[in-house]
Structure 1
């Protein structure tokens, strides 16, 4: 699987070009499925308005992913998949060019990736592009750190999929701005073993065949490197 792990979505031309490069064709010729599941588990999001905004592409921030002009768009709701025969959804996922994964609660998303069977399917999706937003990016790392734990995993762990060997602290902005401060990011990184990327909303991390490249028109820092 090819990864485009964004902080806040496709927020600038550089990140959009990285997406096109990973797809190997224009967005307008590509199919996508959006995954809103992580939003339900976040204490400040939950069901209701925000998932609808993500699915409909009517989000009020500059990093929306659903309304980029895709050739086709569908919904992959992970909480529904355990009650559906695999032949109803696995072929759909295999033939889709990109999975657009909303932010929210990374542990809740990870739980339903495993429960639904999507986590087991991922190793075979070699040509699919995973476009994560915030928690949709963090779920690919080994751990999120206790600072980001909201929804409690049945295991009590903060471990996530571990498809990459680094960690992500998103939404780091200047002092007095919404999001996390650099001091908070450094405190978080001190509890994490291994490299960690601190990103702002203009930054994404591209991973292809184990090669990591930061794609940014903003500010980012690598800690524990």
Structure 2
């Protein structure tokens, strides 16, 4: 977008010129696609961690909440999953991505409903959400927002590609943080100085916590759901 485009949208000269320059920079500078990050070792080096696996990623304390079997959202989730399993059968290592996505989407939607009831906050979810920043760009499988701030980014991976999923999710979190940071500067808001990441095969769920220069995981082993 040009300076004139931003001015027509109602911005003054100063902000219009700044945004126009930023848009030009983002357009001209080559960006690396999230999907091109295949080596977790390469990504972890930026955090002072030397490993080809997840064993050196520090652990953070994951807060949990007990969900009652009678919770209406949980009941709906179980009915939804069982409804699909009747025709799909159990998930296996090579289950189609489209099949896994249906389970992932159901679980994420349920989680947002339950979290919304507990926190009295409004959450939204955007599939195939595009994030463009100076270093890396691409679409994330699911982006979860509270208001207009990204709080969680999900990477859907089959089990055999889970380490790639870690590498790509970390880069997605870095770019998502920069997106939030630029928005906070415009709005004068200091909230959300961290983000959560999820890498999942639908069966296994890994959780990351990102803040600038730091990455940690909830556990060395995944949370597993048997389908």
Q: TM-score, structure 2 length as denominator?
A: 0.31
- TM-score (norm: length of structure 1): 0.31
